Each structure stands twice: as C-alpha cells, then as structure tokens.
Amino acid sequence: MCAELIFYSVVPSEEPGERAEIETFLLRNGLSYDEGIEIFVVGREGRKLVACGGLEQNIVKCVATDPLYRGEHLSLTIVDKVIHLAYERGHSHLFLYTRPNNIAFFAGCGFYPIVEVPGLVTLLENSPIGIRRYCDGLSKSRQPGARIGAAVLNANPFTRGHRYLIEKAAESCDWLHVFVVAEDASLFPYCDRFQLMKSGIEGIARVTLHPGSQYMISRATFSCYFFKEKNVAGDCFTAVDLLVFRQWIAPALGITHRFVGTEPFCRTTGKYNEDMKYWLQADLSAAKPVTVVEIPRIESHDRAISASEVRRLLGTNDFDRIAELVPQTTYDLLSSKYRMKAVGSHTSATA
C-alpha cells in the first residue's frame, strides 16, 4: 500500500456522490446496491475506494473489498468496523447475507449460518444459539396431532378476511399456530396489530397466537416485503424466509401445513405465495416438506376483503364501509386512534 488507509461512515441518503461511487464499486465486485441500507463504512487508500460494508438496522449487507487488497486483512477490518458501528447504533444481535463460498470467512468474524439458498446466498447471525434458543422457546407450545397448521399474518389491520382464514385453517387442523409479523414497517404498529389479532380470533378453538420475531417475514429474512414499490420480491429473500420456516420453525412445532389466503391484489404477496409452494413442498433433503394450503378470500360487495382496501377507506374517512370489512375491535381502534389521522398517503402502507 502506498497511502494510509482511512475509514469513515457515509449516510447514502445525505451524500449522493459517495453513494454513486459505492454503487459502482459494488457492481465491480459482483454485488448490487441495496436501497434499504441506512449507513456504510467505507475504506479508502488516498482517494481510492477499496472497501465498504453497509447496515440496514441490524443487518450487515454489501460487504466488499477491492480484489487487490484481499490478502491484507482489509476484509476483516471492514467487517469489524461495521460490527462496531452496529453496536454504537444499539444493535447487538446482527444478521448478515453473503454468498455460500464466504461462510468460512464470516465464521472467523463471529457469524454462524442459519440457512443457505444453494449456490446463491446464506443468512448468518452473530450468535451460535440465537435461532436454536428461539425454536426451543417455540417447542414449549407444541401440540399433539397429525395435522398441525400455521399461518403468518401481518394484519395491517386485522379484517374479517383474516378471521375467516384462521377459522377455516383451524377447522381443518388438530392445532393451528398463528404468527403476527413483528416488523414495524406498516401503517399500524406491531403492538396494535398483535392486540387486534388477539381480540379478533377470540372464540376460535385449537389456536395458539405467537408473537412475531426477526426469524419470520422481517427485514432480516425477507426485506423485499417491506419495499413493495419494487413490485416483485427478490427470489433469494423469499427463499431465505421460507427455508428458515421449513428448517427451523416448522420442526420446533411439528407444523405439517401452512395456510395462506389467495392474493388477487398485491403482486409481492402473490409471488410469495407461489414461491412458498416450491420452497416448503419441494423434495429438499434438509427438512420435511410443509404442505401449502390456499384458502379463497371472502368477499364484500363482490370484492375480496383486503387490509389494503381498509387502509384506502381510512384515507377517505369512509368508516361506514370500513365497518363492513373489519371486526368490531378493529373498527373501534381505527375510530379512536386513526380517524383524525386519516390521509391519502395511508394507502401506500405495507399490506
């Protein structure tokens, strides 16, 4: 090396010139720029960009080093600095995406593989027991039966359609496990969505409601779900999320079937449902298959009930129509907390 290496942080939304250079650098190193990244650590030798690593909350992404410098411990240095930056920002439980051939390197940085999409991408975390501890906790809710179901819902907000899906799924199972997406990237915060789900499923037998986690439809496992303006979820992210479910969560609870509603509106969710049929049902040696069951949505006024329609109606303060689509508990919350906040931009919130 001729000049001293310097490292500093870059907020790409505030520094377009730096962002453009990082994008070009990543492309030269076979990586695409990830729009979700909030901050980068970059390394330069003089004016030359030689390394970078990004953070999206607690997810390490877009780690790259110039090939000419890879024998000089630069990769270890950039990862170490990204980890320290994450700690400074309050994140101690970290996830990381990399190609499968880089697993050994990141293992040396304290990361442990969770799942691998063969030949494409591996999801790792900085704990040897993180997902095992989570699944050990889940297993305490395991129920006997030959047909154990699961449903994972965002419920943004909880509608009569969600209630119908859970009723039908529970009727066809010995037991049903329902999970609420925990990521706070929707119009309605997780605390409200969880409470609405809890109230909304009262009276349905043989159902356990579980809090969500970072191991299921989160920015860690499926970040494209929360950026629907891209229209289509990335295949790798879809596969990672579904393989975590199949290889870890389903065995912990003895889940044999996963239930979803048909999706006539959202292209991202529709593609996720289709991908689910492959990644959960395909003949993969890593874990037993999980059968996917699609349940047709119920309709109101010849239109399938959807959370996105409720949000649209909330934006126009049409509470008479909302009352036809949601349970009373959802209506009460919308009326008390969101009636005065309703604006047209709500229609863009995540489903």
Residues of the chain with pLDDT under 70: 1-2, 71-72, 219-236, 265, 285-286, 340-351
Residue 292's DSSP bridge partners are 258
Residue 311 is which amino acid?
Answer: R
pLDDT at 72: 63
pLDDT at 226: 34
Number of H helices and E strands in the chain, helices first, is 13, 14
Q: What is the pLDDT of residues 195-235, one digit of tens each?
A: 999 999 999 999 999 998 999 877 666 554 333 334 333 55
pLDDT at 118: 85
pLDDT at 224: 45
Contact predicate 178/205, CB 8 Å: no
Residues 6+ apart with CB under 8 A from 339: 317, 319
What phi and psi values does residue 334 have, to the nearest 5 degrees? -60, -40
Contact predicate 295/165, CB 8 Å: yes
Residue 300's DSSP bridge partners are 303
Q: Report the distance separating Cα 100 and Cα 147, nearest Å.
A: 34
CA atoms within 13 A on the CB side of 2: 4
pLDDT at 16: 96
Contact predicate 64/31, CB 8 Å: yes
Give the three-class secondary structure for 149.
strand
Q: Report the distance separating Cα 179 and Cα 169, nearest Å.
A: 13
The pTM score is: 0.86
The alpha carbon of residue 161 and the mean position of all alpha carbons in its chain are separated, in whole angstroms, by 22
pLDDT at 58: 94
- Record the tokens describing residue 105, joined without a space: 């390197």
Domain boundaries, the chain: 5-128, 138-298
* CATH code, residues 5-128: 3.40.630.30
pLDDT at 220: 66
| CATH superfamily name and code, 138-298 | HUPs (3.40.50.620)
